[in-house]
């Protein structure tokens, strides 16, 4: 970090240290939290309290590599790789369904097995879709308001991805991706009527599906009264609320969580924030919120300052890739949104999510390193960025 | 190409930011509401969810002998409990567990399907069953982990809890004194019953933190929690003396194929009961296997006719009331004395004229009856009641009998008045008799019998101390002394119990052979053989009563009970540190069982010991020719606490303890007999509160 001062002083070589610091803080907090939330369970189920944190540490290592890579590669060059990236993501999303390659956990086929590790393609697919949208928006610009150009193709491509992720039964990620897509469409200049109508159609279809099976409806709405359903469908949420509530202002203290003693399912993944809030209290939660807020603010600011339209939309999309799941996850664990499997970026245990998030930050850093340049000269911009890379570490 | 996004796009980015900010605010508000506003309430609710109130069962206090030896203790065993309402597959569970716990599957299923949140499945498992259960639990756990069953499993709501179980390490030793407890630790008999409230302990609740699988994570329970422990009850019993009494009693009972026997050893000066033996005995560890007769403390619950032993109380009354002098003579009518037209009194051996002393020595019924007549009914009644007959002694023990003493003032017939003189038509408990006898050995003062010395809290503080309590003076010192001298002749040549005195000691005693009442008539084949005595006669330190129930082959107290008395007395005196001064040949006549008894004082070198022996010997009265002089070795207690370690070689355990306790030293003892080694060595500077080790060795 000492070389940082020199690096920033050099013209054109800029690294958004605030963004980087937020991301790293979240990553390290996540490593600690994964350990704290999982050690009892890991000891019981795997005979090694460090089982999860060891893996997460390795993913973090790989993730930092992805971040450096993202920081190093000029984001402009992604424009050439949009379709191959989309295609690879699509293949991967299909591969998860193939027995032998895909791994099923609790009935959900979200993973591809790679030796001892698993890869969750949907995490990377989100970035691919964002790349595609940003690329497409930047190209179409004024034509965005036409239904056939600005709306339909994006909806079809995104819809395919969302649908595939949805039938994995990863509704959380599918819904998040849908939210990202609609937000980007909104910013990209698609007519609001298109958005509203399509949203209406989606809602109508959802309601129809739900009405067919009122039990499911009850299930979804169980989050409204977790105490009533505390013994069955609302169990996880009830435990989460108890954990969060137990934290009070100051928390029970690091390592003092009680909910992690098998009371709260998925304590080290989707509900890690509950454990965090239980141990570190409201102040601890504020820290997490502040870090995410900083990240989002830096990302949105970047989207306004980006040297070109592609960069703007890309920055927006990547910010949403981190910010939206974070917000939704926080809403879920605190019971203001229905419970859905959705991890908290950086903090939840899960290699793909962590690596994708760090990669996103890396790309954001690359975009931001090119902001200061008066004119968009991509070829030149890449060169100083290369020099800037080592200084980041 | 426009390098950046348009103005409206920028606005829309702003809108997105605004939307996210709103979302963040809502979430922040939600967390604030949950954690700060509802926080304390939710934390409490969570605590209720995670914790479980578990009763901490009380740990019953120990019962100790006078030297702190454990007679009854509580040990930890495991019991299996279950929470039936949380069990989903009772059928399968009961099938698996039934053989392990020794149930029929059906019975177990009934228990497991009860509509209660808690039930005991099996109390106080044997170690084998406990091991089997733990094996099963570990197995079930492994299977469940392998099957990745999440959430609360059936096998998690059936588990072991520790419980206290009463254990009597000395088995049947003093069993009927200790009594016993039910499975929940409530005393049902004996000291366990009488002092239940002190021993029981204080149950409390503790909160145990459970994980979601119902396993205890942290527990408020402590391994050693004085809060739940009951007080310890320290008895006056001396384990060694109790052992001697029981062993010798058993030998006697066996020898004469008797139905049973009683023996009681009391310290006359304090009224403390040192040994309380009875046969048949009872092992409180498995009290259900014993008949009710063996469970109750018959030494004080059963009243029996004292027979000739009662004569001494009549004689003592006469002497104290100055009605007779020891040398006064009575005509003993050559064996048959007609009282009324029909009634007459017999002597076993016909005698002519006997002095009061001889009446006791020879045990003449007629003589005793005449003495009683001379005393008069009213006076005799008063004295006998003063001796403690006819009412309860006040010992803190359940089920005491008051015996039966007819009102002699209003007795209608002459025969009723006189038969009491030789112990017929009157019933007494062994305890009453021993205490009355002890009064004679205590210069005429009757002491309250004493079974509990003190009550000590688990932390070792004295809660209650029972000091020796005199009840009343029954006899003058003179009369008591005269009685001792008279009774001493019983165990001398010409007396009825020549075998009663241990080698080197004198015994003031009296024999008795009482016909047992069968129905409403005296039996001619069933007798109680009694011997009661004080030892040593000059200055009694023990009052001992031995009663043999229905001896066969021999029936007389002097033949049956006296030798048992002798053995108990001899061995007890040695244990207590009283030795005959006269040197005894080692190979001759030493009590057979005197294992561990220290050798005579002789041979102890070192200035202090010699001085001690001399000091004790000097004031001893000139001995009667046939009596060995008794030398209770007395320690000269230092006036100030010791500052250097004394040479303890040759001291008895008790002397060592007295000496060192007075100096504030804590002492660890090894072995038995006399001190042979010590740590620190003599002359080492010591500080109060320090510890030392003294080794003892039997040198006999």
Q: In angstroms, rounded to a whole number, what is the distance separating the alpha carbons of residues B144 and B92?
A: 14
Respond yes or no on whether the N-terminal peptide bond of residue B280 is cis (omega within 30° of 0): yes
A186 near B CB under 8 A: yes
Q: Hey, of A104, A130, A150, A187, which one would you mutate to test binding to chain B, going by the most B CBs within 10 A of its CB?
A: A187
Below-50 pLDDT ranges, chain A: 1-12, 375-393
Higher pLDDT, B435 or B581: B435
Could you tell me the pLDDT band of residue B237, with boundaries at 50, 70 and 90? very high
Q: In angstroms, rounded to a whole number, what is the distance separating the alpha carbons of residues B366 and B618?
A: 43
Q: Hey, of A334, A337, A372, A373, which one would you mutate to test binding to chain B, going by the most B CBs within 10 A of its CB?
A: A334
Domain count, chain A: 1
Q: Hey, of A230, A262, A328, which one would you mutate to test binding to chain B, going by the most B CBs within 10 A of its CB?
A: A262
Coil, strand or helix at B154: helix
Name, of A300-309, B315-324, B631-640, B646-655, the range with top average pLDDT. Answer: B315-324
pLDDT given at position B700:
45
Q: In angstroms, rounded to a whole number, what is the distance separating the alpha carbons of residues B664 and B644?
A: 12
Q: List CB contacts (< 8 A) between A246 and chain B.
A: 39, 42-43, 46-47
Contacts of A180 (CB under 8 A, 6+ apart): A126, A129, A130, A317, A320, A321, A324
pLDDT given at position A146:
81
Chain A residues 309-328 within an 8 A CB cutoff of chain B: 309, 312-313, 316, 320, 323-324, 327
Contact at CB, B35 and A281, closer than 8 angstroms: yes
Closest by alpha carbon to B46, among A180, A78, A227?
Answer: A227
Residue A30 falls within a domain, yes or no? Answer: no
Q: Quote the percentage of chain B above a pLDDT of 70.
A: 86
What average pLDDT does this structure show over B312-341?
Answer: 89
Residue A391 falls within a domain, yes or no? Answer: no
Contact at CB, A262 and B213, closer than 8 angstroms: yes
Specify the DSSP element, H or E, that contains A282: helix A272-305
Q: In angstroms, rounded to a whole number, what is the distance separating the alpha carbons of residues A153 and B631?
A: 120
Contact at CB, B17 and A188, closer than 8 angstroms: no
What average pLDDT does this structure show over B579-590?
Answer: 53
Secondary-structure breakdown of chain A: helix, strand, coil percentages, each rounded to the nearest 5: 70, 5, 25
Give the pairing of strands B232-235 and B63-64. parallel
Rounded (10°) angle between helices A171-188 and A121-140: 10
What average pLDDT does this structure show over B129-157?
Answer: 76
Cα dist. A139→A128, A133, A188, B3, B493 in Å? 16, 10, 11, 12, 138
Contact at CB, B150 and A265, closer than 8 angstroms: yes
Contact at CB, A289 and B36, closer than 8 angstroms: no
Mean pLDDT, rounded, of chain B: 82
The single-letter DSSP state of residue B184 is: T
Q: Positive or negative CA dihedral for A136, A139, A141, A145?
A: negative
Q: How far is A263 from chain B (nearest CA, A)?
A: 5
Contacts of B272 (CB under 8 A, 6+ apart): B66, B236, B266, B450, B453, B468
For residue A183, give the nearest of B16, B31, B145 by CB distance.
B16
Contact at CB, B43 and A44, closer than 8 angstroms: no
Q: Are B472 and B382 in contact (CB under 8 A)?
A: no
Contact at CB, A323 and B20, closer than 8 angstroms: yes
Q: Are B548 and B528 in contact (CB under 8 A)?
A: yes
Strand order in the sheet with B51-56: B51-56, B204-210, B216-219
Instruction: Determine the length of chain A.
Output: 393
Q: List CB contacts (< 8 A) between A302 and chain B.
A: none
pLDDT given at position A379:
42
What average pLDDT does this structure show over B233-262?
Answer: 94
pLDDT given at position B4:
67
Give the pairing of strands B303-304 and B426-429. antiparallel
Could you tell me the pLDDT band of residue B22, with boundaries at 50, 70 and 90? very high
Cα dist. A151→A111, A145, A319 in Å? 30, 8, 22
For residue A330, give the nearest of B13, B27, B217 by CB distance.
B27
pLDDT given at position B641:
62
Chain A residues 106-165 within an 8 A CB cutoff of chain B: 141
pLDDT given at position B254:
93
Closest by alpha carbon to B430, among B272, B566, B242, B266?
Answer: B266
Task: Spell out the long-range contacts of B515-518 with Cβ–Cβ below 8 A and sequence spacing 24 or more.
Answer: B515/B305, B515/B307, B515/B424, B516/B304, B516/B305, B516/B550, B517/B305
Backbone angles phi, psi at B120, to 5 degrees: -80, 135
Given a cut of 50, is residue B595 above it in pLDDT? no
Residue B263 β-bridge partners: B277, B546
Residue B528 β-bridge partners: B514, B549
Q: List CB contacts (< 8 A) between B7 and chain A.
A: none
Q: List CB contacts (< 8 A) between A281 and chain B.
A: 35
Contact at CB, A312 and B5, closer than 8 angstroms: yes
Q: List CB contacts (< 8 A) between A375 and chain B.
A: 3
Given a cut of 90, is residue B569 above it in pLDDT? yes
Q: In angstroms, rounded to a whole number, what is the distance separating the alpha carbons of residues B201 and A202?
A: 70
Contact at CB, B9 and A245, closer than 8 angstroms: no
A308 near B CB under 8 A: yes
Q: Are B230 and B201 in contact (CB under 8 A)?
A: yes
Residue A182 falls within a domain, yes or no? Answer: yes
Domains of chain B: 52-231 (3.90.1310.10), 239-595 (3.40.710.10), 632-697 (3.30.10.20)
Closest by alpha carbon to B315, among B530, B510, B140, B152?
Answer: B510
Residue B465 β-bridge partners: B454
Residue A10 falls within a domain, yes or no? Answer: no
Residue A306 falls within a domain, yes or no? Answer: yes
Q: In angstroms, rounded to a whole number, what is the distance separating the alpha carbons of residues B415 and B594?
A: 46
Token pair recorded at residue B430 = 């062994």
Q: How far is A389 from chain B (nearest CA, A)?
A: 25
pLDDT given at position B310:
93
Instruction: Tell me the Cα Rg of chain A.
Output: 21
- pLDDT, tens digit, for every residue of B183-226? 888 889 999 999 999 888 888 877 777 777 767 776 666 666 77
Q: In angstroms, rounded to a whole number, what is the distance separating the alpha carbons of residues B698 and B596?
A: 5
Chain A residues 247-266 within an 8 A CB cutoff of chain B: 247-249, 258-259, 261-263, 265
Q: In angstroms, rounded to a whole number, what is the distance separating the alpha carbons of residues B348 and B366?
A: 10
Contact at CB, A243 and B36, closer than 8 angstroms: no
Backbone angles phi, psi at B2, to 5 degrees: -65, 120
pLDDT given at position A377:
43
Q: Hey, of B22, B31, B47, B144, which one would you mutate to test binding to chain A, going by the most A CBs within 10 A of its CB?
A: B31
Q: Are B659 and B637 in contact (CB under 8 A)?
A: yes
pLDDT given at position B454:
92
pLDDT given at position B599:
40
The answer to whether residue B150 is catalytic is no
Q: Hey, of B27, B142, B214, which one would you mutate to test binding to chain A, going by the most A CBs within 10 A of its CB?
A: B27
Cα dist. B55→A121, B91, B211 in Å? 53, 28, 18
Q: Are B596 and B698 in contact (CB under 8 A)?
A: yes
A336 near B CB under 8 A: yes
pLDDT given at position A309:
87
Chain A nearest-CA residue for B3 = A308
A241 near B CB under 8 A: yes
pLDDT given at position B283:
93
What average pLDDT does this structure show over B620-642?
Answer: 46
Higher pLDDT, B70 or A141: B70
pLDDT given at position A389:
38
Contact at CB, A242 and B49, closer than 8 angstroms: yes
pLDDT given at position A216:
66
Chain A nearest-CA residue for B145 = A45
Q: Positive or negative CA dihedral for B634, B639, B641, B643?
A: negative
Name, of B487-501, B540-554, B642-656, the range with top average pLDDT. Answer: B540-554
Coil, strand or helix at B516: strand
Contact at CB, A334 and B9, closer than 8 angstroms: no
A242 near B CB under 8 A: yes
For residue A300, give the nearest of B17, B210, B217 by CB distance.
B17
Higher pLDDT, B147 or A191: A191
Q: In angstroms, rounded to a whole number, what is the distance separating the alpha carbons of residues A213 and B699?
A: 95
Contacts of B47 (CB under 8 A, 6+ apart): A246
Q: How far is B155 from chain A (nearest CA, A)?
A: 16
Given a cut of 80, is residue B655 above it in pLDDT? no
Rounded (10°) angle between helices A351-369 and A121-140: 30
Q: In angstroms, rounded to a whole number, what is the distance separating the alpha carbons of residues B634 and B577?
A: 9
- pLDDT, tens digit, for every residue of B491-525? 888 888 888 889 889 999 999 999 888 878 888 88
pLDDT given at position B150:
56
Cα dist. A389→A3, A50, A87, A146 in Å? 11, 32, 29, 41
A288 near B CB under 8 A: no
Which residue range(s) make up the domain with A106? 39-372
Contact at CB, A187 and B12, closer than 8 angstroms: yes
Given a cut of 70, is residue B287 above it in pLDDT? yes
Q: In angstroms, rounded to a whole number, what is the distance separating the alpha carbons of residues B133 and B141?
A: 12
Residue B667 β-bridge partners: B692
Coil, strand or helix at B10: helix
Given a cut of 50, is residue B596 above it in pLDDT? no
pLDDT given at position B98:
87
For residue A249, give the nearest of B21, B28, B35 by CB distance.
B35
Q: In angstroms, rounded to a whole number, what is the distance separating the alpha carbons of residues A215 and A229?
A: 13
Given a cut of 70, is residue B13 above it in pLDDT? yes
Cα dist. A246→A239, A274, B175 in Å? 10, 10, 55
Chain A nearest-CA residue for B144 = A45
Which residue is catalytic, options B74, B281, B308, B572?
Answer: B308
Token pair recorded at residue B396 = 């803190």
Q: In angstroms, rounded to a whole number, what is the distance separating the alpha carbons of residues B13 and B19?
A: 10
| 3-class DSSP string for B322-357 | CCCCCCCEEECHHHEEECCCCCEEECCCCCCEEEHH
């Amino acid at each position: 970090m000492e070389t940082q001062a020199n690096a920033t002083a050099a013209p054109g070589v800029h690294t958004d240290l605030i963004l980087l610091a937020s991301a790293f803080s979240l990553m390290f907090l996540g490593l600690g939290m994964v350990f704290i939330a999982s050690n009892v369970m890991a000891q019981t189920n795997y005979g090694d309290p460090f089982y999860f944190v060891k893996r997460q540490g390795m993913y973090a290592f790989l993730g930092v590599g992805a971040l450096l890579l993202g920081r190093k590669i000029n984001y402009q060059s992604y424009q050439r790789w949009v379709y191959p990236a989309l295609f690879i993501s699509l293949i991967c999303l299909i591969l998860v369904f193939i027995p032998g390659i895909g791994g099923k956990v609790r009935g959900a086929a979200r993973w591809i097995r790679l030796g001892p590790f698993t890869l969750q393609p949907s995490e990377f697919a989100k970035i691919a879709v964002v790349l595609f949208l940003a690329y497409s928006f930047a190209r179409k610009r004024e034509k965005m308001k036409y239904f056939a150009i600005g709306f339909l193709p994006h909806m079809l491509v995104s819809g395919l991805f969302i649908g595939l992720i949805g039938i994995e039964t990863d509704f959380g990620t599918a819904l998040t991706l849908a939210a990202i897509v609609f937000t980007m469409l909104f910013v990209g200049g698609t007519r609001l009527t298109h958005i509203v109508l399509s949203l209406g159609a989606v809602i109508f279809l959802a309601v129809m599906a739900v009405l067919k099976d009122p039990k499911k409806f009850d299930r979804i709405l169980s989050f409204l009264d977790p105490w009533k359903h505390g013994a069955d469908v609302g169990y996880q949420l009830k435990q989460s609320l108890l954990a969060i509530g137990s934290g009070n202002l100051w928390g029970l203290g690091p390592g003092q969580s009680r909910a992690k003693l098998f009371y709260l399912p998925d304590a080290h993944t989707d509900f890690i924030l509950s454990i965090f809030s239980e141990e570190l209290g409201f102040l601890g939660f504020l820290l997490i919120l502040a870090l995410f807020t900083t990240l989002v603010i830096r990302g949105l600011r970047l989207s306004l300052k980006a040297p070109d339209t592609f960069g703007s939309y890309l920055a927006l999309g990547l910010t949403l890739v981190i910010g939206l799941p974070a917000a939704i996850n926080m809403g879920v664990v605190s019971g203001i949104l229905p419970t859905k499997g959705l991890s908290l970026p950086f903090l939840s245990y899960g290699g793909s999510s962590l690596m994708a998030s760090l990669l996103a930050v890396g790309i954001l850093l690359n975009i931001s390193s090119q902001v200061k340049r008066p004119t968009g000269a991509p070829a030149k911009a890449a060169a100083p960025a290369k020099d800037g890379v080592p200084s980041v570490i | 190409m426009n390098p950046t996004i348009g103005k409206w796009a920028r606005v829309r980015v702003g809108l997105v930011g605004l939307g996210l900010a709103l979302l963040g605010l809502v979430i922040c508000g939600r967390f604030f509401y949950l954690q700060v506003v509802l926080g304390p309430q939710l934390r409490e609710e969570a605590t209720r969810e995670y914790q479980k109130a578990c009763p901490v069962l009380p740990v019953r206090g120990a019962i100790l002998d006078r030297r702190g030896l454990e007679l009854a203790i509580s040990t930890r065993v495991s019991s299996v409990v279950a929470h039936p309402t949380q069990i989903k597959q009772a059928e399968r569970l009961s099938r698996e567990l039934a053989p392990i716990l020794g149930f029929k599957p059906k019975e177990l299923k009934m228990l497991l399907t009860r509509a209660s949140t808690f039930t005991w499945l099996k109390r106080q498992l044997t170690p084998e069953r406990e091991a089997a259960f733990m094996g099963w639990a570990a197995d079930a756990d492994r299977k469940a982990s392998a099957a990745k069953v999440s959430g609360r499993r059936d096998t998690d709501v059936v588990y072991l809890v520790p419980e206290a179980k009463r254990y009597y390490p000395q088995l049947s030793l003093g069993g009927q004194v200790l009594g016993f407890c039910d499975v929940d630790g409530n005393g049902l008999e004996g000291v366990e019953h009488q002092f239940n409230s002190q021993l029981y302990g204080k149950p409390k609740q503790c909160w145990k933190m459970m994980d979601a699988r119902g396993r205890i994570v942290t527990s408020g329970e402590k391994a050693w929690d004085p809060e739940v422990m009951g007080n310890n009850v320290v008895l006056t019993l001396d384990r060694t003396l109790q052992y001697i009494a029981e062993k010798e009693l058993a030998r006697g009972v066996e020898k004469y194929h008797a139905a049973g026997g009683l023996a009681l050893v009391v310290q006359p000066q304090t009224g403390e009961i040192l040994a309380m033996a009875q046969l048949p005995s009872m092992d409180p560890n498995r009290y259900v296997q014993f008949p009710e007769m063996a469970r109750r403390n018959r030494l004080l619950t059963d009243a029996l006719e004292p027979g000739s032993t009662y004569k001494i109380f009549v004689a003592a009354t006469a002497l104290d009331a100055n009605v007779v002098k020891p040398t006064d003579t009575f005509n003993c009518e050559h064996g048959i004395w007609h009282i009324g037209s029909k009634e007459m009194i017999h002597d076993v051996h016909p005698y002519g004229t006997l002095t009061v002393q001889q009446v006791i020595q020879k045990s003449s019924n007629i003589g005793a009856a005449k003495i009683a007549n001379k005393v008069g009914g009213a006076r005799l009644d008063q004295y006998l009641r003063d001796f403690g007959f006819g009412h309860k002694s006040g010992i803190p023990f359940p089920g005491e009998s008051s015996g039966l003493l007819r009102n002699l003032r209003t007795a209608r017939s002459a025969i009723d008045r006189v038969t009491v003189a030789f112990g017929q038509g009157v019933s007494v408990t062994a305890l009453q008799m021993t205490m009355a006898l002890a009064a004679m050995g205590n210069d005429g003062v009757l002491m309250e019998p004493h079974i509990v010395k003190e009550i000590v809290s688990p932390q070792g503080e004295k809660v209650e101390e029972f000091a020796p309590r005199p009840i009343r003076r029954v006899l003058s010192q003179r009369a008591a002394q005269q009685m001792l001298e008279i009774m001493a002749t019983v165990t001398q040549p010409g007396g009825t119990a020549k075998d009663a005195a241990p080698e080197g000691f004198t015994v003031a005693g009296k024999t008795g052979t009482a016909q047992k009442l069968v129905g409403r008539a005296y039996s001619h084949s069933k007798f109680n053989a009694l011997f009661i005595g004080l030892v040593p006669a000059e200055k009694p330190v023990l009052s001992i009563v031995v009663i043999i129930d229905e001896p066969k082959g021999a029936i007389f107290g002097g033949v049956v009970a006296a030798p048992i008395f002798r053995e108990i007395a001899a061995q007890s005196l040695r244990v207590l540190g009283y030795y005959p001064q006269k040197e005894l040949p080692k190979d001759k006549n030493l009590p057979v069982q005197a294992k561990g008894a220290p050798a005579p004082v002789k041979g102890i070198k070192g200035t202090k010991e010699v001085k001690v022996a001399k000091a004790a010997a000097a004031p001893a009265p000139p001995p009667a020719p046939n009596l060995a002089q008794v030398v209770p070795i007395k320690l000269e207690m230092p006036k100030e606490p010791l500052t250097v370690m004394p040479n303890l070689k040759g001291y008895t355990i008790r002397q060592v303890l007295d000496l060192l306790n007075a100096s504030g030293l804590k002492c660890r003892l090894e072995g038995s007999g006399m001190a042979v080694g010590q740590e620190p060595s003599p002359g080492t500077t010591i500080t109060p509160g320090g510890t030392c080790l003294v080794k003892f060795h039997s040198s006999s």
